[in-house]
A and B are shown apart, each in its own frame.
Chain A
Amino acid sequence: MELHESHRFIKDCFHEEPASCSCACPFGLDLRAFLKKAANGRWASCYRELRDTVVFPTVVSELCEAACRDACQRKALGDEALNIPQIEKACIKFSLNEGAASYPLPPKTQKIAIVGAGAAGLSCALGLAKKKYLVTVFDEQASWGGRLRNHPSFSNFNSDFERQFEGLGIEFKYGHTALEAELEDFDAVYIASGKGGSDFGLAESWKAANLSCEKPGWFLGGELCGMSLMQGIAAGRKLSQLIEAFLQTGKAELIVKAACETGIAHKLDHEGEAKKPIVIPENAEEGYRKDEAKKEAARCMGCVCDKCMTGCELLAHYRKTPYKLATDIFGDSNTKPPFSNCEATRQTYSCNLCSRCEGLCPVGVNMGELFGFSREDRWEHERWVPAFHDFWLRELDFNGDEGFYASPGKCDYVFFPGCQLTASLPLHTIKSFELLQKEIKTGLILGCCGAPAVWAGDKKRRDTNMEKLKSAWEAMDRPVILTACATCKDMLNKQLSGAKLKSLYEVLDKLDPALSLPFKEAALFDPCSAGKDTIQHAAVKSLAEKAGCRVEELEDGGTCCGYGGHIRLADKALYDEISEKRARESERPYLVYCANCREIFKSKKKECAHILEFVFGNASIGIPSLEEKRRNTVRVKNEIMKKLEEKEFSLKAQPWHALKIAFSEEARLAMEERLICDSDVAETIYNAEKNEAYFTEDEGGLIASFAREYVTYWVKYKRMEDGSFRVNSCYSHRMKIVGLQP
């Protein structure tokens, strides 16, 4: 994977962009961080944030024109802008014991001359001296300060200069006019001689971008070049970095992000933010007290977009920004175990791929697409976790083989119920087909749309499955496909080019069938895969309303019930959190049109019914076990084959199918939780009994195991007197037992 491949998914995300106030600031001060610290009363840390960016905090807080206030987003709410200069002054006042910054760096040998001891020259001199370069400052005047010396507050500014330069070994040559010849001895020269000062004939070739000129290693800035005082200080700080780059590489270039124009705020709606009046200091001359400064700083809204990170359970849990995630996913693709580890494996496989984030994001960034891409990459490079998806891939294989059926002959429409509806509501599947057949010339394809392969990242399996569906569909003369599952519709739409798709519910709504009423009022829970399919949504609602049900729209519709992306084995706790939360979004029973949503909500004891239960009744049907689901698929196939072709179908008999096995409640729960089928248990017992490959416990208990490719099942059972077996518990592990050590 290349960096641009992972980052293309999040290129529009503006989470990393600075706030609009920071963009307006000539120094680019991170005001979000500064104000957060001030609001918490962390004055020393707050001061460091200020000093490290604005260089001379006292000068800047006193003289800056505070363009940040014009850009403050409080104004968009009708409030006054934050009083940032006063908060800065309070911060300086409450952190007076904070000394100059000191860095344990080795001394450098390069010499730099600064011409002009005004604020612009001093700013550059300070930056270089902190990095231990040999700095000499020349000024024709008798001391530092430039034109600030005439300011009434100069004594305060002088203290600020002294405070920042404390302990730094800089040579100041006052009352000295620097000559070009003596400056030639220096490795770099910065001319900040002030308005009307000497430019050594270089001003004409001056480049504003990096303050350089035609003479290599010579730079110009400050009021000499028409900069304001603040621009001069900011330029001096930047130039100290540019000069260091020049000394190290010979090029005065910095790798920096492009300057922002408006910042993050123009994309924010400040939803949920209340108005807050500005804090007026009780004593105007003294300025803010600590509590006043904290309160005023706390008016900062933080102006950051984290809608995906607060609205999606997965992103909220891991608290990684989209940029960080894309970087981690790129890093994971280049991991070389055991020398480096992956950072985002579990997160990648814990995404429901429901596109909720895309709806939450003001610019439509879809993190699921990034996770889906990563899953494909991990599969391709065998960096996936097989146990996370193995069960569903085996189900897909079953549905593409024994469970697959395509009716013979050509037709105008073909009903594609999808494997989950067939397995979960077999009777409703058959009745839907019969009703369609009665009204329109309809064929049938039983099979899987390939979602398990897509969710696992297995492109080869996905394509093989789709090829099979395509062949069957083409043999029927490319009929309109009637889908009962929104995921199937979505998958076919993306992968079966040229196919016309229609929702079964749209057709049923037009057929006006007799209806039943499982409950009188319901909240309509759209499956996440339905996306913006309003026609399907309207048809389901219309059918339920015709049945006499009052249907409420969910405020936060189209969110995943928890099933999407098959996250259950990757992060069970998150899966439970999501599904339980979704089950509580309305007091009303849920009307669903996805077999998976129905099962999930039923398992969470939420009253719900599939729309087909309004059409064909039987809303009291529970959740079939994993084994029953397989049998249901075979049953539907057999019934249809009998009807259409007068042929019967049954699964190839295996010797363990003949075993009579009863399960304890504990075993049943464990099997459902760990996705262990009855036939897995039967095969385990059969092999154990046949080969005496079991362990014995006291009181006749037996323990047997059976290792599949990616999971090993263990079964604790007893032989009963009538030749049957009773299973008391089941468990499994993913680790492989290789063998005994010598």
Chain B
Amino acid sequence: MSETVRIKCGKCGVELKPTKVTFSYMGRTFGHEVPACPKCGKVYISQELAEGKMAEVEMLFEDK
């Protein structure tokens, strides 16, 4: 969540905040807290998350 300190929504100009977001993959839906704009709700996925935990979960679901 370190990105929330520095990263702002380009449109709204406000800092991102941890927000509960719904994801779906391979027919499964689940929730996770990630940074999003508190005003417009645009969700941000960091490279660290995409290539780390998210990739792990993707693999897990693909194998199921």
- A321 touches B (CB below 8 Å): no
**Judging by beta carbons under 8 Å apart, are A733 and B64 in contact?**
no
**Judging by beta carbons under 8 Å apart, are B63 and A345 in contact?**
yes
Per-position binary interface string of chain B over residues 21-64, scored 1 when its CB falls under 8 Å from any chain A CB and 0 otherwise: 11111111101000010000111110100110011011000111
**Judging by beta carbons under 8 Å apart, are A734 and B47 in contact?**
no
- A554 touches B (CB below 8 Å): no
A133-184: which residues lie under 8 A (CB-CB) from chain B?
Answer: none
Interchain residue pairs with CB less than 8 A apart (14): A345-B63, A695-B44, A696-B7, A696-B9, A705-B45, A712-B45, A733-B50, A735-B24, A735-B57, A737-B22, A738-B22, A738-B29, A739-B21, A741-B31
> Which one of B8, B11, B58 lies within 8 Å of A693 (CB-CB)?
B11
Residue of A nearest to B41 (CB): A740
Q: Which residues of A lie under 8 Å from residue B51 when comparing CB positions?
A: 731
Q: Which residues of B lie under 8 Å from residue A388 when comparing CB positions?
A: 62
**Judging by beta carbons under 8 Å apart, are B11 and A714 in contact?**
no
Q: Which residues of B lie under 8 Å from residue A337 when comparing CB positions?
A: 27-28, 64
Residue of B nearest to A343 (CB): B63
Interchain residue pairs A-B with the least CB separation, the first 3: A741-B20, A738-B22, A694-B10
Residue of B nearest to A691 (CB): B11
CA distance A735 to B55 in the complex (A): 9
Q: Quick one: given A693-B10, A696-B8, A741-B20, are A714 and B63 in contact (CB under 8 Å)?
A: no
Report B42 CB to chain A, min CB distance, Å: 7
CA distance A692 to B42 in the complex (A): 11
Report A350 CB to chain B, min CB distance, Å: 11
Q: Which residues of B lie under 8 Å from residue A703 when comparing CB positions?
A: 7, 44
Residue of A nearest to B31 (CB): A741
Q: Which residues of A lie under 8 Å from residue B20 when comparing CB positions?
A: 740-741
> Which one of B7, B24, B54, B64 lies within 8 Å of A695 (CB-CB)?
B7
Q: Which residues of B lie under 8 Å from residue A736 when comparing CB positions?
A: 23-25
Report A390 CB to chain B, min CB distance, Å: 13
Q: Interface range on chain A: under 10, 10 to 19, 20 to 34, or 35 or more?
A: 35 or more
- A702 touches B (CB below 8 Å): yes
CA distance A638 to B38 in the complex (A): 50
Residue of A nearest to B62 (CB): A385
**Judging by beta carbons under 8 Å apart, are B50 and A346 in contact?**
no
Q: A385-B62, A693-B42, A737-B21 are in contact. List 20 more A-B contacts (CB 8 A).
A: A341-B64, A387-B62, A691-B11, A693-B11, A694-B10, A696-B7, A697-B7, A716-B47, A731-B47, A735-B25, A735-B54, A735-B57, A737-B43, A738-B21, A738-B23, A738-B29, A739-B41, A740-B22, A740-B43, A741-B20
> Which one of A342, A695, A735, A738 lies within 8 Å of B9 (CB-CB)?
A695
Residue of A nearest to B51 (CB): A731
CA distance A529 to B34 in the complex (A): 46
CA distance A714 to B44 in the complex (A): 9
- A196 touches B (CB below 8 Å): no
CA distance A338 to B25 in the complex (A): 13
CA distance A388 to B63 in the complex (A): 12
Give the size of the chain B interface in residues (CB under 8 angstroms).
Answer: 35
**Judging by beta carbons under 8 Å apart, are A695 and B16 in contact?**
yes
Residue of B nearest to A346 (CB): B63
CA distance A697 to B16 in the complex (A): 11
Per-position binary interface string of chain A over residues 709-742, scored 1 when its CB falls under 8 Å from any chain B CB and 0 otherwise: 0001010100000000000010111111111110
Q: Which residues of B lie under 8 Å from residue A385 when comparing CB positions?
A: 26, 62
- A698 touches B (CB below 8 Å): yes
Q: Which residues of B lie under 8 Å from residue A712 when comparing CB positions?
A: 45
Report A387 CB to chain B, min CB distance, Å: 8
Q: Quick one: given A693-B42, A714-B50, are A740 and B21 in contact (CB under 8 Å)?
A: yes
**Judging by beta carbons under 8 Å apart, are B29 and A714 in contact?**
no
CA distance A164 to B41 in the complex (A): 74
Q: Which residues of B lie under 8 Å from residue A737 when comparing CB positions?
A: 21-23, 43, 45
**Judging by beta carbons under 8 Å apart, are B45 and A714 in contact?**
yes
Report A595 CB to chain B, min CB distance, Å: 29
Report A359 CB to chain B, min CB distance, Å: 29
Q: Quick one: given A695-B7, A738-B23, are A338 and B28 in contact (CB under 8 Å)?
A: yes
Residue of A nearest to B58 (CB): A734
CA distance A697 to B15 in the complex (A): 10
Most buried by B among A346, A692, A729: A692
CA distance A736 to B61 in the complex (A): 13
Report A245 CB to chain B, min CB distance, Å: 38
> Which one of A341, A697, A733 lies within 8 Å of B55 (CB-CB)?
A733
**Judging by beta carbons under 8 Å apart, are B58 and A735 in contact?**
yes
**Judging by beta carbons under 8 Å apart, are B11 and A729 in contact?**
no
Q: Which residues of A lie under 8 Å from residue B6 when comparing CB positions?
A: 697-698
Q: Quick one: given A346-B63, A693-B42, are A740 and B54 in contact (CB under 8 Å)?
A: no
**Judging by beta carbons under 8 Å apart, are B47 and A695 in contact?**
no
**Judging by beta carbons under 8 Å apart, are A734 and B25 in contact?**
yes
Residue of A nearest to B35 (CB): A695
Q: Which residues of B lie under 8 Å from residue A387 when comparing CB positions?
A: 58, 62
CA distance A342 to B26 in the complex (A): 12
Report B11 CB to chain A, min CB distance, Å: 4
Q: Which residues of A lie under 8 Å from residue B21 when comparing CB positions?
A: 737-741
CA distance A705 to B28 in the complex (A): 22
Residue of A nearest to B64 (CB): A341
Per-position binary interface string of chain A over residues 660-693, scored 1 when its CB falls under 8 Å from any chain B CB and 0 otherwise: 0000000000000000000000000000100111
Q: Which residues of B lie under 8 Å from residue A740 when comparing CB positions?
A: 19-22, 36, 41, 43
**Judging by beta carbons under 8 Å apart, are A732 and B50 in contact?**
yes
Per-position binary interface string of chain A over residues 481-513, scored 1 when its CB falls under 8 Å from any chain B CB and 0 otherwise: 000000000000000000000000000000000
Report B51 CB to chain A, min CB distance, Å: 6
Q: Which residues of B lie under 8 Å from residue A695 when comparing CB positions?
A: 7-10, 16, 42, 44
Report A568 CB to chain B, min CB distance, Å: 14
CA distance A337 to B60 in the complex (A): 14
Q: Which residues of B lie under 8 Å from residue A714 when comparing CB positions?
A: 45, 47, 50
Q: Quick one: given A337-B64, A342-B64, A733-B54, are A702 and B10 in contact (CB under 8 Å)?
A: yes
